[in-house]
Amino acid sequence: MFEKAIRFISPKWALLRQQDRVKASMLDSAYDGASTIKKSMRNWYSPSGDANASFSESTQKTLIDRCRDAYRNYPLAKAVIDRVKLNSIGTGIRLQCRLDADRLGITKEEANEFERSIEEKFEIWAKHCDIEDTLSFEEYQVLVQTSMLLSGDVFVNTLFAKDYNGFIRLKLQAIENDRVCNPRYACDTIKLIRGIQINSFGKPTHYHILQGHPGSQLMDVKQNIWKKVSIYGSLTGKKRIFHIYDKGSEGRPGLKRGVPFLSNVLDSLRQLSKYTEAELTAAVISSFFSVFVKTESNTSLPSSLDQSTEEEERGEISLSPGAIIDLLPSESIETTNPGRPNSKYEPFVVAITKDIGAAVGIPVEVLTQHFSSSYTAARGSLLQAWQLFKYQRNIVVKSFCQPVYELFLDGLVASGKIDLPNYNENKELYYRATWIGNSSGSIDPIKEVNAAEKRINIGVSTIQKEAEDISNMDWMDVQRQREIENGLRKTAGLNETKEIIKEHAEAEDVEEIEERIKNAYKKNAK
């Protein structure tokens, strides 16, 4: 209390006391990193507050505003966010139910039928899940992640609205993090931290939501009205409002609000943008052929010059195409060469881009979408980048997609749209699902498929896993479609290519094999 009082009365005095305390405690440190004597470490002041004090409210607001501005105006900042957004979410993460028939006490055929029915109904609901009816569930995922990356966190509320064609009433409402704050912008307390009310164990129980955005230019009485919303439903006890953020981004327990993704590289992004703008301006200026007329007298140039009245008033001169100008005896012409573009520009920009990419976890080849090295290096860059993309995708799945799906399934059963045996006793088993996102793609598809085949053959992977990674598809869907296609081919009298090759594989001559295959296709076609 004494230290807080000093900090309130005289922040400068409190800062000096803290510096002296740190110096005294680290004077005899055996670690160079804790030295206060070395010149390189002497002026390194590091705050010692807890996670929420280090990421204070003013710091949070400043970082959010600057990250949003950087995304709007700095090409590299937009590239960082878009790489994460397009690769981790892309066209959307799709639901795949995974019911365990044995543990549920049902047959595998019943489990497959339940899975297909749930997925079909979820797909219908996903088209109109937005309370504003403007976004699908896949588009909502993109909105949620982009807002989380730029602002640090985002909130999604679940509401019950009017039925859509008699379907379940569950709707989603996105809440920008600016609206979650302390009532009347009061200071944080032990039980209320930046709009999040917690219990004695630090568990969030309520959110205080401002009904209007504090930065809105529209006059609305809701801008000064806060609503206290319970996180958990009073009847079901399940979460009804979700807080999506990367809690481990700072590596500190107790952090209640998310840190924007670009926070650590904002300075580099701004400086690089200013440097790029300066080089671009210099290159544009150097594209003009500048001519200076040097004279030793006060006599003006001959009237044969193409001069406008406005230029004469300003004393400026413009040269017309192919003009021949007679100079006075005391006049001469000099030209300048600014020496642009700068030959050192690209290596410098690439070096800074590498640092930014390393800080955010995206290799420079993936960040700039420029692959000029070997296949091995390009493949390594993609694999490293996909560690980040999968990590970010997992945050959206665990904090948003899966909880929403569980509420959807509860509503589906409660509304009688589907009858699942012993649902209330086996909810967690019915909740089991996987979420399939965009695949990582491949630089050399043949090598990727061969590697997948070997992983399946030696038993370290499954056909389902490889189907998700290579084609972003459910293997069961692929298998059902292949059965349909094979049936149609057989009906048309067409055999599989593999069967034809196997049938004529006894021939040793390659040309003979090709000739037999051609003849077989002609015969089947007839």
**What is the three-class DSSP state of 336?**
coil
Q: How far apart are CA 136 and CA 128, in angstroms?
A: 6
Would you state the structure tokens that stand for residue 218, as one six-digit string? Answer: 């529209």
Which of the listed ranges 215-229, 274-288, 343-357, 466-480 does the model predict with the highest average pLDDT?
A: 343-357
Is pLDDT at 222 greater than 90 in this prediction?
no
Euclidean distance between the first and the last CA atom of the chain, given in angstroms as a whole number: 94
Residue with tokens 């979410």: 89
The reply to whether 500 falls in a domain is no
Distance from chain centroid for Cα 369:
16
Q: What is the pLDDT of residue 249?
A: 82
The reply to whether 42 falls in a domain is yes
pLDDT in tens, 45-99: 777 788 888 888 999 999 999 999 999 999 999 999 999 999 999 989 999 999 9
Is pLDDT at 315 greater than 60 in this prediction?
no
| DSSP string over 401-425 | IHHHHHHHHHHHHHTTS---TTTGG
The reply to whether 366 falls in a domain is no
Residue 499: phi and psi, rounded to 5, are -65, -40
Q: Which range marks the domain in which residue 161 is found?
A: 57-261+396-414
Is pLDDT at 304 greater than 50 in this prediction?
no
Is pLDDT at 504 greater than 70 in this prediction?
no
8 Å CB contact between 408 and 170? yes
Is there a single domain that holds both residue 105 and residue 134?
yes
Contacts for 287-294: CB closer than 8 Å, 24+ residues apart: 289/335, 290/335, 290/336, 291/319, 291/333, 291/334, 291/335, 292/333, 292/334, 292/335, 292/336, 293/317, 293/327, 293/331, 293/332, 293/333, 294/331, 294/332, 294/333, 294/334
Q: What is the pLDDT of residue 140?
A: 95
Is pLDDT at 310 greater than 60 in this prediction?
no
Per-residue pLDDT band at 224 (split at 50, 70, 90)? confident
Of 120-134, 263-277, 397-411, 505-519, where does mean pLDDT reach its minimum? 505-519
Count of helices and strands (H, E) across the chain: 21, 11
Residue with tokens 């107790």: 254
Is there a single domain that holds both residue 79 and residue 43?
no
Per-residue pLDDT band at 524 (split at 50, 70, 90)? low
pLDDT in tens, 19-36: 777 666 655 567 777 777
Q: What is the pLDDT of residue 303?
A: 47
Is there a single domain that holds both residue 101 and residue 33?
no
Residue with tokens 């002609």: 522
Per-residue pLDDT band at 350 (split at 50, 70, 90)? very high
Percentage of the chain modeled with pLDDT above 70 = 82
Is there a single domain that holds both residue 31 and residue 93?
no
Is there a single domain that holds both residue 117 and residue 246?
yes
The reply to whether 241 falls in a domain is yes
Per-residue pLDDT band at 3 (split at 50, 70, 90)? confident
Is pLDDT at 408 greater than 90 in this prediction?
yes
Is there a single domain that holds both residue 136 and residue 36?
no
Q: What is the pLDDT of residue 75?
A: 93
Q: How far apart are CA 266 and CA 67, in angstroms?
A: 7
Per-residue pLDDT band at 311 (split at 50, 70, 90)? very low
Segments in 287-435 forming alpha helices (H): 309-314, 345-360, 364-368, 375-396, 402-414, 427-430
Per-residue pLDDT band at 338 (split at 50, 70, 90)? low
Q: Which residues pair with 241 in a beta bridge?
A: 157
Is there a single domain that holds both residue 145 and residue 249?
yes
Is there a single domain that holds both residue 136 and residue 107?
yes
Q: What is the pLDDT of residue 289?
A: 61
Number of domains observed in the structure of the chain: 2
Question: Which helix (H) or strand (E) segment is 170 a member of?
Answer: strand 170-176
Is there a single domain that holds both residue 43 and residue 66?
no
Please state whether the predicted TM-score (pTM) of the whole model is above 0.85. Answer: no
The reply to whether 152 falls in a domain is yes
8 Å CB contact between 414 and 345? no
The reply to whether 193 falls in a domain is yes
Is there a single domain that holds both residue 82 and residue 208?
yes
Is pLDDT at 455 greater than 80 in this prediction?
yes
**What is the three-class DSSP state of 242?**
strand
pLDDT in tens, 71-86: 999 999 999 999 999 9
The reply to whether 485 falls in a domain is no
Q: What is the pLDDT of residue 136?
A: 93
Of 162-166, 302-306, 388-392, 450-454, where does mean pLDDT reach its minimum? 302-306
Is there a single domain that holds both residue 14 and residue 87?
no
Residues ≥6 apart with Cβ < 8 Å to 197: 191, 204, 205, 206, 207, 208, 228
Is there a single domain that holds both residue 70 and residue 201?
yes
Radius of gyration of the chain (CA): 33
Is pLDDT at 371 greater than 70 in this prediction?
yes
Per-residue pLDDT band at 265 (split at 50, 70, 90)? very high
Q: What is the mean pLDDT of residues 223-239?
A: 89
At which of 380, 414, 448 does a domain end?
414
Amino acid at 31: Y
Q: What is the pLDDT of residue 216?
A: 83
- Smallest CA-to-CA distance from 77 within 257, 255, 276 is with 276
The reply to whether 90 falls in a domain is yes
